[in-house]
């Protein structure tokens, strides 16, 4: 293990979805490969895709991925503050892995109470920095939102507290890379501007030589070195948590005839859609996301995913005709799988007497599983290990409701329900799911090892970033040299 103490590094952005999370995962892997003991940290995250630590605490999925890239178990201190959107204006606030209430956006961004949250995220960082070297930090959105600067917990104020060097990530694929990088730097005060030690130009398409002059011009106008120009990654697959990623998946949602056709219903409040990443890379499967009746009818397997608003999405299923399409598919012998909120929808009833999700006190489910669910104030969050067909399987649970069964997996005929997120990461369960469709698989009937695949992808990501980043300069920055 390398004992050289490195400064924390923060990947900050010119905007959202510029690639900070993936680059942080890459640095975690590279530092691990180079003998350091890195850990990820994002003071505040906003995401519907979350993960559960071994002690039953909830964090953003991106920090769990970054921890996996670093080769360490994830923990709540890596993402001490998580905001889970419940509507366009309201989010559940999760502090150190536990929900502390719901806030609308206006109330959350007011100053009252922010200092207490700031102290909590600082303590979380301190605990991590005592045990890991270095801390790979991630900012959120743009670092140039002037109207939010006084209440910002995650970007430059956090970098100042951690004494972190900042690398600005700019997305050239969306255009305006010069303006966004220059503006992001110039809008900082003098102290924060000095803290920005480099720029990464991300998601470049085409011949890299075409940006040689652009690179020099960017360094001239920003007076900050460009650490690298990273090509757009087409063949490296890392779990992402943003709704932007789901939109990209949905664009690919055309039904193919090749393999077993698996449709994920694109619910309005869909959450934890990373549950299906393993299926995307399984050569036996043609996976697509859809909210269209005609596309759903073409599927061999229909999956109802998790949701942040079960009753609202159940009503939406009926209003759009998708509920009847699912029931018809079941009658025709197709397989229906429900995970978490989708599992609850497949039951007999969902009761919400305390109005946890809204004013509707009760609603009938789709009636395919002998399960009744009652919404509860206390959220269940835990990692689980269980046997399936004689094999040990793993996953995690994050759900608000309580169902009247102790069974981990409930089956009737060709309908299956479970609270276990990550169940599709277990090869034995996927093989079981595909068994009735062996005629469509043909000679490709090989079990897909998703865990080995993920480790391979982290190594490919690390190699890709090493090739396109000035790692010598990055290490000098982290060692404190100007």
Catalytic sites, residue numbers: 340, 421
Residues whose CB is less than 8 angstroms from the CB of residue 446 and which lie 6 or more positions away in sequence, other chains included: 283, 284
Alpha carbon distance 218, 215 (integer Å) = 5
Strands (E), 328-445: 335-339, 349-351, 362-364, 372-388, 391-403, 409-412, 415-418
Strands (E), 86-219: 90-95, 98-104, 135-138, 165-171, 196-204
State the sign of the Cα–Cα–Cα–Cα dihedral 462, 467, 469, 475.
positive
The pair of three-digit structure tokens given for residue 399, joined into one six-digit string: 């759900």
Residues whose CB is less than 8 angstroms from the CB of residue 305 and which lie 6 or more positions away in sequence, other chains included: 264, 265, 267, 270, 271, 272, 273, 275, 276, 339, 340, 341, 342
DSSP 2-25: -------EEEEEBSTTSSHHHHHH
**Do 420 and 396 form a contact (C-beta atoms < 8 A)?**
yes
Alpha carbon distance 106, 32 (integer Å) = 40
Alpha carbon distance 155, 166 (integer Å) = 9
Residue ranges of alpha helices (H) inside 149-290 are 156-162, 177-186, 190-195, 212-222, 243-251, 277-280
**Do 363 and 347 form a contact (C-beta atoms < 8 A)?**
no
Residue with tokens 């068994």: 435
Nearest to 335 by CA among 440, 231, 442, 244: 440
Q: How far is CA 292 from CA 101, 238, 255, in A?
A: 34, 27, 11
**Do 43 and 125 form a contact (C-beta atoms < 8 A)?**
yes
Q: How far is CA 22 from CA 40, 96, 134, 342, 469, in A?
A: 12, 23, 17, 29, 14
């Amino acid at each position: 293990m390398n004992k050289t103490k490195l400064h924390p590094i923060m990947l900050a952005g010119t905007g959202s979805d510029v690639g900070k999370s993936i680059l942080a995962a890459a640095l975690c892997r590279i530092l691990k490969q180079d003998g350091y003991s890195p850990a990820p940290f994002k003071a505040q995250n906003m995401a519907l895709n979350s993960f559960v630590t071994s002690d039953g605490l909830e964090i953003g999925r991106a920090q769990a991925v970054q921890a996996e890239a670093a080769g360490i178990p994830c923990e709540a201190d890596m993402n001490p503050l998580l905001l889970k959107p419940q509507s366009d204006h309201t989010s559940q606030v999760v502090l150190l892995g536990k929900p502390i209430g719901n806030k609308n956006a206006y109330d959350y961004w007011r100053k009252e109470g922010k200092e207490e949250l700031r102290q909590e995220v600082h303590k979380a960082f301190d605990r991590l920095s005592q045990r890991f070297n270095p801390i790979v930090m991630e900012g959120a959105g743009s670092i140039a939102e002037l109207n939010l600067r006084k209440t910002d917990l995650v970007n430059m104020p956090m970098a100042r507290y951690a004494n972190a060097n900042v690398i600005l990530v700019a997305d050239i694929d969306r255009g305006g890379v010069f303006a966004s990088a220059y503006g992001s730097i110039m809008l900082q005060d003098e102290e924060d501007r000095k803290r920005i030690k480099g720029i990464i130009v991300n998601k470049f398409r085409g011949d890299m030589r075409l940006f040689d002059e652009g690179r020099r011009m960017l360094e001239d106008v920003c007076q900050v070195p460009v650490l690298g120009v990273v090509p757009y990654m087409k063949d490296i697959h890392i779990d992402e948590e943003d709704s932007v990623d789901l939109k990209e998946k949905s664009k690919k949602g055309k039904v193919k005839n090749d393999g077993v056709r698996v449709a994920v219903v694109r619910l309005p409040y869909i959450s934890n859609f990373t549950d299906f990443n393993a299926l995307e890379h399984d050569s036996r499967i043609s996976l697509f996301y859809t909210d269209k009746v005609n596309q759903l009818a073409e599927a061999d397997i229909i999956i109802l995913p998790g949701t942040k608003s079960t009753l609202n999405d159940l009503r939406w299923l009926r209003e759009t005709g998708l509920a009847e399409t699912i029931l018809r598919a079941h009658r025709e012998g197709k397989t229906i799988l429900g995970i978490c909120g989708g599992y609850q929808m497949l039951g007999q009833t969902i009761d919400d007497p305390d109005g946890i999700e809204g004013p509707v006190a009760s609603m009938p489910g789709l009636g395919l599983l002998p399960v009744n669910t009652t919404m509860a104030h206390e959220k269940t969050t835990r990692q689980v290990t269980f046997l399936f067909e004689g094999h040990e399987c793993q996953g995690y649970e994050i759900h608000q409701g309580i169902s009247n069964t102790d069974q981990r997996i409930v089956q009737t005929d060709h309908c299956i329900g479970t609270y276990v997120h990550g169940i599709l990461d277990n090869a034995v369960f996927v093989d079981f799911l595909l068994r009735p469709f062996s005629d469509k698989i043909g000679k490709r009937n090989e079990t897909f090892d998703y865990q080995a695949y993920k480790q391979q992808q982290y190594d490919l990501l690390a190699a890709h970033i090493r090739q396109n980043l000035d790692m010598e300069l990055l290490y000098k920055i982290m060692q404190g040299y100007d």
